[in-house]
Amino acid sequence: MKRIYTIDIIIRSMMIHFIEGGGFSGNIYLIEGDHPVIIDTGWDANIDRIAPQIEQALGGKELDKIILTHRHVDHIGGALAIKKKFGGTIYAQKEEAEALRQGDPESTGARMFGTRVKPMDVVDLDDGDVIDLGDGGSLKVMKTPGHTTGGICLLDSEGGLFSGDTVFTEGGVGRWDLPTGDFKMLLKSIEALAELPIVSLYPGHGMPAEKNGAEHIKLSLKNLKGYGAYG
Ligand SMILES: [Zn+2]
């Protein structure tokens, strides 16, 4: 009998540009496509450092959406400047969106870092929403509270996870001691993420992992359970 061996080949066709956050600034990701999307915008309203890379990635297209994983100033600070220069509608989970519409200095961390957040127009997202990227690609919104109350991860249609500050590579986890943060919620969120067959992990700080994303998340879960034992 002839045996047929099958080999799983993972092909990620999505073109994702990584703009590394400098200093306190969060990472920025740009997904190319019919409807280009930016995920998080970094700390700074002065976007001179990042604008050339965004411009090159867009290749003359307008941005379609600016999606914010959560309300913190190191992820949303560049949103209005990016929108002004490259277009796009700003989206965030509805609890986070409300804080951004108000320009809330406390829960965004703006006051803590001695800066301000300008109130901005934001369209609400919530758990389960699906964002069409064109070219057959999509992003699914997963509400993953714990770092903030309405923080989200975005799961792309090829097994990539944009995880904001919920979970990082190499077993890192988000802080739960900031305003609206909660340890138990964070644990529950990371437990849910650890069940998923994540290929690539694109966190809000530190380096992304193109492969073995699920292993990174499992390590984060193990570490968080360890912190819980002491916390
Ligand atoms: Zn954060």
The residue among 33 and 218 whose pLDDT is bigger is: 218
173, pLDDT greater than 50: yes
Give 147 Cα–ligand 1 centroid separation in angstroms. 7
Read off the pLDDT of each residue in 108-134 and give the average, rounded to a whole number.
96
Label residue 136 by pLDDT band (50, 70, 90): confident
177 vs 60: CA distance, rounded Å:
42
The whole-number pLDDT of residue 70 equals: 98
| Residue 3 in domain | no
Q: Is residue 153 part of a domain?
A: yes
The domain total for the chain is 1
Ligand 1 mean position, distance from CA 136 (Å): 30
Tokens of 136: 């057959």
> In terms of pLDDT, which residue wins out, 17 or 2?
17
User: What is the spatial distance between Cα 93 and Cα 70, in angstroms, rounded to a whole number?
Assistant: 7
- 221-229 mean pLDDT: 87
Judged against a pLDDT cut of 80, whether residue 10 lies above it is answered with no
Is residue 28 exposed (0-12), middle (13-18) or buried (19+ Cβ within 10 Å)? buried
Residue 148: burial class (beta carbons within 10 Å; 0-12, 13-18, 19+): buried
Is residue 37 domain-resident?
yes
Range of the domain at 55: 16-230
pLDDT attached to residue 68: 98
| 30 CA distance to ligand 1 middle (Å) | 19
In angstroms, the CA 38 to CA 17 distance is: 9
Contact 139, 179 (CB under 8 A): no
- Kindly report the CATH number assigned to the domain that includes residue 119: 3.60.15.10
221 belongs to a structural domain: yes
Residue 6 within a domain: no
The answer to whether the beta carbons of residues 213 and 201 sit under 8 Å apart is yes
Residue 1 lies in a domain: no
How many angstroms is it from 5 CA to the middle of ligand 1? 45
Residue 130 tokens, joined:
């699906």
Whether residue 10 lies inside any domain: the answer is no
